[in-house]
């Protein structure tokens, strides 16, 4: 072991000793880096997604096979990384469900299903996912989709206390992140910046659930009087006084919360502004603090100690909510405690976590919203002529799906490499015509998004003025010459340079990573393969066909002298209705599972292939009085209220409404207006739509079903497959 590695291990040991009261089950001090236990969703205090275990290594990984699996009975997204304490595996699933298993045998010890108000799906932009639990002082902490935090008894799963994390339930708050234990409090942020949310992060007493402090990311309307806390006074100066305070401003910190016991700070990555376009949110512009930032808060008081804004004004939904890693690096001859962060905006940042000083900022993909970062001021050099879409369509790099996103990366202290999925893609972005009303609990955006991966096929079908405007963009040659793609990359965090890369199955394929001292990197794919790479070279050493799509990050632990590797498997998250045709979920369905592997394990049971698609069923006759104008009105209402969840794509994980049964057609009003299927996650819309509106939507869907059936019968007649998927086109209106 080299001296650098020894110093790194020693430092993390000190970090763990400083925080042992709030990290591991049984209040035992853990060694700094993960070993037998995996004490946080990121493995250690710094969330490096790295393990010191070496039982599974380059020499024997070829015998890796299934040890056990658990089917969770869901067809929605699974994004959590489990925690293992003293041989027990704890993890979260859809909407904040919690599971505890014996880590060796897979025997279920207990499960908890929170009572969730499924009406919250109206403002859950990106599936009913949850990213994990925290375990401390004999309790398991989780936050449900509707924003209720639960402290569960670690042995039984019974509720010890619950607390409401939502400030105003008239707004669109949801919760999808993992709580973070920080000394004597547990910290959580909210989601929903695309709706009418004012971002906030809240801390609750570990023992009682009492609110300890709350930090708002965005100022409130100055007409209402003084700000909630003094730290918002300077932020207010970066907003137009006539900003859209009525719809919150965004900034929701839905992931990326790290406690640093060395400094006593909670580092929080904050979300995008709402709506996306700065000119619609803050008409005179401004940095709009503290959106798109890392804010460092005192864990005891919640007061701001420092901040660094990665994307001033955030005009592109870049957010700063991608996972952070706390570690130590030698920078310019000095060893420093640092935070590594690669948000959606395309840069990899290295900051001193004591004071937020910017040490490095390097692009890792194509970037045209800025041409670099001024290292003296820390500010990006903006290029509005290339990326300000409010004056006309622009092709902006990276896309709003981000160079990086929520999928965890790993930091390998032996090689000094940052290893994670990286997406190199852009968006065509334009403002939709007309003025849209901004409302509570509704998607409040005027920007439409077309992914560059589909532009060549999309362009012919766009309205001529829009088609011509996009086709004339000089970036189109760039897109043609450099197609989009996603890779697992090993990056030098100080230069941003790629040491090795592995090309993924498609641009939506970007699973989380795990690195180990056994010389390995583990990653799952949505094509169903669980892959193991040599971390030094990127050489593929082993792949296991699981038949299940994987997005979550793997983790590893040891019980009874045996090392295991576990990962949660299911497609979901952002763009969840659009199931990629190359994914296992598209071919074999989306049965959510936990998969656990060991050396000498067996084969993974692979779900059977789905049957061939049949033509859409015969729709009912249109109701009396339905006209082309009725159908057009129904289409407008559908796109504004329903299309975000119902993509009407083959094998979507939400119902394809072109294939409604006779019974669903008959109950359509009851479903939409009365909440007939609310327990299944389908919210009611009686506060936004009346019976006439719903009938118009139904008329549009009846017409669409008839057209779909006719087209598919023609395909069947010609011997063509029926399940050719449509294009991934996401619009915010």
> Torsion angle, CA of 162/168/173/176, rounded to 10 degrees?
-20
Phi and psi for 677 in degrees, rounded to 5? -110, 25
Predicted confidence (pLDDT) at residue 10 exceeds the cutoff of 70: no
Can you tell me which residue has the tokens 């869907």?
701
pLDDT single digits (tens) 214-269: 999 999 999 999 999 999 999 999 999 999 999 999 999 999 999 999 999 999 99
For residue 732, the model assigns a pLDDT of: 30
Instruction: Write out pLDDT tens, residues 454-485.
Output: 887 788 888 888 899 999 998 898 888 888 89
285: helix, coil or strand? coil
Give residue-wise pLDDT tens across range 509-526. Answer: 999 999 999 999 999 999
Give me the mean pLDDT over the 580-589 stretch: 96
Between 727 and 396, the higher pLDDT residue: 396
Per-residue pLDDT, 5: 40
How confident is the model over 533-578, as pLDDT tens digits? 999 999 999 999 999 999 999 999 999 999 999 999 999 999 899 9
Torsion of CA 441, 447, 453, 454, to 10 degrees: 90
Cis peptide before 20 (omega within 30 of 0): no
**Active site annotation includes 317:** yes
Q: Please state, for a pLDDT cut of 90, what percent of the chain lies above it.
A: 85
Q: Which residues contact 271 (CB under 8 A, 6 or more apart)?
A: 191, 193, 199, 217, 250, 251, 252, 253, 254, 291, 292, 319, 320, 321
- Predicted confidence at residue 53, as pLDDT, reads 98
Position 453 scores a pLDDT of: 83
pLDDT at 733: 25
Can you give the pLDDT at residue 17? Answer: 30
Burial of residue 509 (number of CB atoms within 10 Å: 0-12, 13-18, 19+): buried
pTM here? 0.94
Say how many CA atoms lie within 13 Å of 140 toward its Cβ. 29
- Does position 503 have pLDDT exceeding 90, yes or no? yes
Most confidently modeled range among 4-8, 17-21, 170-174, 264-268: 264-268
pLDDT band (50, 70, 90) for residue 327 = very high
Residue 163 above 70 pLDDT?
A: yes
Q: How far is CA 407 from CA 59, 98, 553, in A?
A: 28, 20, 7
Spell out the residues 6+ positions from residue 337 whose beta carbon is closer than 8 angstroms to its own.
11, 260, 262, 263, 326, 327, 328, 352, 353, 354
What does the mean pLDDT of the chain come to?
A: 92
Judged against a pLDDT cut of 50, whether residue 70 lies above it is answered with yes
Going from the N-terminus, what domains does the chain have, and what CATH number goes with each?
3-599 (2.140.10.10), 628-731 (1.10.760.10)
Confidence of residue 437 (pLDDT cuts 50, 70, 90): low
| Predicted confidence band of residue 486 (pLDDT cuts 50, 70, 90) | very high
Residue 30 DSSP code? P
Q: What is the DSSP string of 209-256?
A: --EEEEEESSPPPGGG-S-SSTTHHHHHTTS-TTS-GGG--B----S-
68-87 average pLDDT score = 98
Active-site position among 127, 231, 314, 317: 317
- Give CA–CA dist 459/653, Å, rounded: 27
**Is the confidence at residue 275, as pLDDT, over 50?**
yes
């Amino acid at each position: 072991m080299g001296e650098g590695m020894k110093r790194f291990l020693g430092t993390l040991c000190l970090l763990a000793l400083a925080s042992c009261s709030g990290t591991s089950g049984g209040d035992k001090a853990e060694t700094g880096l993960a070993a037998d236990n995996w004490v946080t969703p990121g493995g250690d205090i710094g969330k490096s997604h790295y393990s010191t275990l070496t039982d599974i290594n380059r020499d024997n990984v070829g015998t890796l096979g299934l040890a056990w699996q658990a089917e969770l009975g869901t067809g929605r997204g699974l994004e959590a990384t489990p925690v293992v304490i003293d041989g027990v595996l704890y993890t979260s699933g859809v909407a904040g469900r919690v599971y505890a298993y014996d880590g060796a045998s897979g025997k279920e010890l207990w499960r908890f299903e929170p009572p969730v108000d499924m009406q919250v799906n109206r403002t859950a932009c990106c599936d009913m996912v949850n990213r994990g639990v925290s375990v401390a002082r004999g309790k398991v902490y989780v936050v449900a989709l509707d924003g209720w935090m639960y402290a569960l008894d670690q042995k039984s799963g019974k509720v010890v206390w619950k607390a409401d994390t939502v400030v105003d339930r008239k707004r669109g708050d949801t919760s999808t992140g993992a709580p973070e234990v920080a000394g004597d409090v547990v910290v959580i942020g909210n989601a929903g910046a695309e709706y009418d949310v004012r971002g906030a992060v809240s801390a609750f007493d570990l023992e009682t659930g009492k609110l300890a402090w709350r930090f708002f990311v965005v100022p409130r309307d100055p007409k209402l009087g003084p700000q909630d806390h003094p730290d918002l006074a300077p932020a207010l100066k970066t907003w137009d006084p006539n900003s859209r305070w009525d719809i919150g401003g965004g900034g929701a910190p839905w992931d990326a919360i790290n406690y640093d016991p060395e400094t006593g700070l909670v580092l929080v990555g904050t979300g995008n502004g709402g709506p996306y376009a700065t000119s619609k949110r803050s008409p005179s512009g401004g940095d709009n603090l503290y959106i798109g930032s890392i804010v460092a808060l005192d864990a005891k008081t919640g007061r701001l100690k420092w901040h660094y804004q990665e994307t001033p004004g955030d005009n592109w939904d870049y957010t700063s909510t991608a996972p952070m890693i706390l570690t130590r690096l030698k920078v310019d001859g000095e060893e420093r405690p640092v935070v590594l962060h690669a948000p959606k905006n395309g840069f990899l940042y290295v900051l001193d976590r004591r004071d937020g000083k910017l040490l490095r900022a390097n692009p890792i993909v194509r970037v045209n919203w800025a041409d670099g970062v001024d290292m003296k001021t820390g500010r990006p050099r903006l290029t509005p002529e290339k990326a300000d879409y409010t004056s006309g369509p622009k092709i902006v790099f990276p896309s709003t799906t981000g160079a990086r996103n929520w999928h965890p990366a790993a930091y390998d202290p032996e090689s000094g490499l940052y290893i994670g999925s990286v997406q190199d893609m852009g968006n065509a972005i334009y403002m939709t015509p007309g003025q849209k009303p901004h409302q509570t609990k509704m998607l409040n955006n005027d920007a439409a998004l077309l992914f560059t991966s589909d532009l060549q096929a999309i362009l012919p079908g766009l309205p001529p003025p829009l088609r011509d405007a996009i086709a004339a963009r000089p970036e189109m040659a760039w897109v043609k010459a450099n197609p989009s793609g996603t890779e697992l990359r090993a990056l030098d965090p100080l230069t941003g340079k790629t040491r090795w890369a592995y090309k993924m199955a498609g641009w939506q394929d970007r699973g989380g990573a795990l690195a180990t001292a056994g010389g390995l990197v583990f990653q799952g794919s949505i094509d169903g393969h669980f892959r193991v790479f040599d971390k030094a070279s990127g050489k593929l050493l082993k792949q296991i066909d699981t038949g299940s799509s994987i997005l979550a990050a793997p983790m590893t632990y040891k019980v009874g002298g045996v090392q295991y590797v576990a990962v949660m498997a299911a497609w979901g998250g952002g763009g969840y209705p659009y199931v990629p045709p190359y994914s296992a979920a598209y071919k074999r369905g989306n049965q959510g599972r936990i998969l656990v592997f060991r050396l000498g394990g067996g084969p993974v049971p692979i779900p059977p292939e789905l049957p061939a698609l049949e033509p859409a069923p015969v729709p009912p006759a249109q109701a009396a009085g339905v006209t082309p104008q009725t159908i057009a009105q129904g289409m407008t209402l559908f796109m504004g209220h329903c299309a975000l969840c119902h993509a009407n794509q083959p094998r979507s994980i939400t119902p394809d409404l072109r294939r409604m049964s006779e019974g669903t057609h008959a109950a359509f009003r009851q479903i939409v207006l009365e909440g007939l299927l609310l327990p299944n996650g389908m919210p009611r819309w009686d506060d936004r739509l009346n019976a006439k509106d719903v009938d118009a939507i139904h008329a549009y869907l009846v017409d669409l079903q008839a057209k779909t059936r006719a087209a598919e019968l023609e395909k069947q007649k010609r011997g063509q497959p029926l399940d050719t998927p449509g294009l991934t086109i996401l619009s915010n209106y």
